[in-house]
Amino acid sequence: MPYSHAASKPLPKLNLIGAGRVGQTLAHLAAKRKTVQVQDVLTTSLASAQAACSFIGEGRAVENIQAMRPADLWMIATPDAQIGEAAQALADCIGATPTLVFHCSGALSSNTLEPLRTQGALLVSAHPILSFATPALACAQWAGTPCALEGDAAAIAVLGPLLTNLGAQCFEIQSEDKLLYHAGAVFATNFLPVLQSVAEAAWKKAGVPDEIIQRLRASLLANAVNNIVGLGPHAALTGPAARGDLSAIARQSQAISQWDGQAGEAYSALSTLGLRLAGH
């Protein structure tokens, strides 16, 4: 009977190298949904690996890579700077025999896993576009998270359905476009706090009271988000660039530069992009 056959099929085994915010979140969701069996977990210490297993709800903490058993899927969820080194360590580990290996970096492509190519492993990167503040918060916010897949087609064919089953919205990116793709995400989200901090410093310098600054931040941000989501960036643009007011832009640019040279350069560059967006 098809049902009993599916029920008795063993789950793919998942090993984790690196189990911080992203590793714990994905492994917990996958274990809870029974799409994988979390097997061995390696971090920088046995204690943190044990804590990760406890959050995930299954898995065995190990002290070193040699203690990791063969698995169907390997997730490398270390910080970006350690991914290449972890891939090399895995490639050098005779008993590991990895079949499909993925990392979760947005900026790095699957080429970072290249040392594993000689072992015949399928290589892929899977970048979930979510701010993983803590594993518990990320699990709660996870549903519908867009996830960029890049790498070997055969690996995408395995990992894509698995992540989709967890509730991700998967799409594909070419390896050569990965940096540009990730820079887009930086523009979309990471620059917002930077812009807010410059605005706050300028307001403080101009003598705006603190309680008004808090209110300005909340109302301006909320309205901008609503307008951009509802109307799109072009129609939502307001201010001197939208009006094509070159004289106001030049005067403001000069005032900002006198106060803070780097903020002045940013003001000029963003105003140029604003004029282009407005079609001036």
Binding residues for ligand NAP, rule: CB under 6 A, are 17-23, 42-45, 48, 77-80, 82, 85-86, 103-106, 127-128, 131-132
Contact of 133 with 21, CB cutoff 8 Å = yes
Using CA atoms, how far apart are residues 107 and 98, in angstroms rounded to an integer?
Answer: 23
Beta carbons within 10 angstroms of residue 235's beta carbon: 11
Based on CB atoms, which residue is closest to ligand NAP, 137 or 199? 137
Residue nearest to ligand NAP (CB): 20
Using CA atoms, how far apart are residues 165 and 180, in angstroms rounded to an integer?
Answer: 28
For residue 137, the minimal CB distance to ligand NAP (Å) is 10
Using CA atoms, how far apart are residues 163 and 169, in angstroms rounded to an integer?
Answer: 8
Q: What separation, in Å, do the N-terminal and C-terminal C-alpha atoms of the chain show? A: 67
Helices 261-278, 191-205: axis angle to 10 degrees equals 120
For residue 154, the minimal CB distance to ligand NAP (Å) is 22
For residue 258, the minimal CB distance to ligand NAP (Å) is 37
For residue 35, the minimal CB distance to ligand NAP (Å) is 19
Contact of 147 with 126, CB cutoff 8 Å = yes
For residue 29, the minimal CB distance to ligand NAP (Å) is 14
Using CA atoms, how far apart are residues 93 and 277, in angstroms rounded to an integer?
Answer: 52
